[in-house]
Structure 1
Amino acid sequence: MSFNQFEGILPTSITNLSSQLTFLTFGGNKIGGSIPSEISNLFHLNALDMNTNFLRGNLPASIGMHTNLQIFLVGANQLTGEIPSSLGNITQPLRLDLALNNFQGSIPLGIWNLEYVQLLALYGNKLNSTIPKQLMNISSTQLLDVSLNFLTGSLPTEIGKLQHIVKLNVSNNKLSAEVLGNIKLCGGIPELHLKPCPVQKQEKRKKRTALKLVLVIVIPALFLSLAVAFLSMLLTRKVKKKPLSSPSFGQFLPKVSYQELLNATGGFSSGNLIDSGNFGSVYNGTLSPTGITVVVKVLKLNQRGASKSFMAECEALRNIQHRNLVKLVSVCSRTDFHGNDFKALAYEFMPNGS
């Protein structure tokens, strides 16, 4: 029943469906009301998708009885209250999306014990807890997004133990370090590229002595490098790359048009389709004339929150460089041949990746 624009209140009779039901989805509609606690009667559910509706009230604790859930999506609704700790009872590989609601209070510790969670989206709520060291337990996660909340405290160094992480977003919180909208983050693992934390005077003295020794070697080498770079610039000054016309993101990315992406993906054909989600579809293709193989994410701009997701992703990729983040090749924000807004991201293709 997804994306059919059904309206009305979610009927409690939905819990009378066959207890053998394994897949239930009605995302992308205009369904209101609350989620009945009797939803636990459907105890064989593997997938429950209620994203992008107008659901209100609390998320019932009985949802934790669905220990076989592998997909649970309630993002972009109007749910309130606290996230039930019973969600920590789920033992299967899980995609958990609670984003863009009005959840308050702490993130339950049980969430950080979901060993097999692959996607954990909690952004756009009013959560105000810390990020505990237990986050190292979600070792299978590929996407962790807790941005746009009121999280406090330090970002634990255990975050470096998330070996499968592809996207990490902790921006726009009250974390005690400066990264993506936070004001005091410092130190941590080198891959985070954070500024150094303040050190004691004695340590500073030692560093100054070491710095003097380094400068004796580095300064001559630096002048030599600058001279070589200047000569190289003179020889290649005729080769100029123009920045993308949109100044708010990707100022140093090559320009790409809607026509080029259309050609690259075979007209966004089903044969090139890799995946499709609530906010967009993903295609593979080859950009001409460079022959670069890319993965193109096309946003579904008619979905509530899609444009916000697009800008957040552009801003994050513009500011973060990480060995586990796939390279952004280009961005397209244009209109299609029908005059409709069109937004897409082109990523570097990873043959053996996700």
Structure 2
Amino acid sequence: MQKTVLLPLLCYAGLGFLALYMPLLHSGAYIPGRAEELNDFFHFHWSYWWARHALVTPGLNVYLSDYVLFPYENNLALHTSALFWLPLWALLEALAGTLNALNGIFWVAFSLTGWSMYALLRREEVGHGLALVGGLALMTTPLMFYAAWWNTSNLVGVFWYPVLLLLWDQVARTRQLGWALLFGLALWGAALTDLQYLLFAPWLVVPCGLRTLHRAAGWSARARLIGLGALALVIFAALMWFAGPLPYLLNLDRERSLAWEVENTLGIALSGWAQVDALPWKRVTVGGWMTGGVLLGLWLSVLRRARDGRWFWLAVALPPALLALGQVMAQHEQPGLAIPFMPRCMPL
């Protein structure tokens, strides 16, 4: 058991080091990015400093601060603080400084992403080899490198998706209160990493929850699953209220908030593999390899007469893939193709 857990983790830790070798080998002296273009490197250094300062200083509040534009108090509920990483940052910062601490966060996030995806694929009875490849694929998506480039630790919480699915699977298998508690804690951790994970996770968790209800042995088992799911949500809501941003989110002055224009929403480029000269901080695409990967998966499933479970995951992937197209589907060196239904779907 220890080998099946530790060996893949060590493997992904090594692969994560290879993926981030430049910032890790120059940690403390350089930051990712280019001298010609600024990135957000100081944003999270300040956020973690402020959170620690507010927690240890009487009278201060993590989510309310006049340190930004004195004497005006700012509500930081929507500030991308990524407070889930605060304990790790505080530990590493005390040992090696804040630059090394943030690089350490990225290394841990890369490793966790690959490891958790591997564990999910193994739970779905995928072979060791393909599961290792699947974990590596998720770990090295352009978003992860984009986050490392911009020093945005809120964007490397991709591991929450497989973690939430694994925890819910444990809830469904064991129907024990402890796993429901852990599921609620994981939802809270995902929200503290970035609120966006609460927008995207339901597209995965809800279909999987419905599948487990369908597979449950009898109505009593289904009722217990529903109760455990409700308990997890209650735990999550309580944590968000007493140890999270929920009260401050409800008190936001929305009349002065800037509305995001749907037309400016980024989308994937389906021909991304053709952009060999694309700069990673100017154009992010998973369209090329994702489209090819879906087609390859379909072909292999037909050849191998795959069980229904793999078709389920394809169906689950389609709605997020359609939403990921954005308002305009970019095409290499051609005008973008407008998606007519997207203005109505983007608020989802």
TM-score by length of 2: 0.27
Question: Which has the greater radius of gyration?
Answer: 1
The structure carrying a bigger strand percent of its residues is 1
RCO comparison, higher one (Cα < 8 Å, 6+): 2
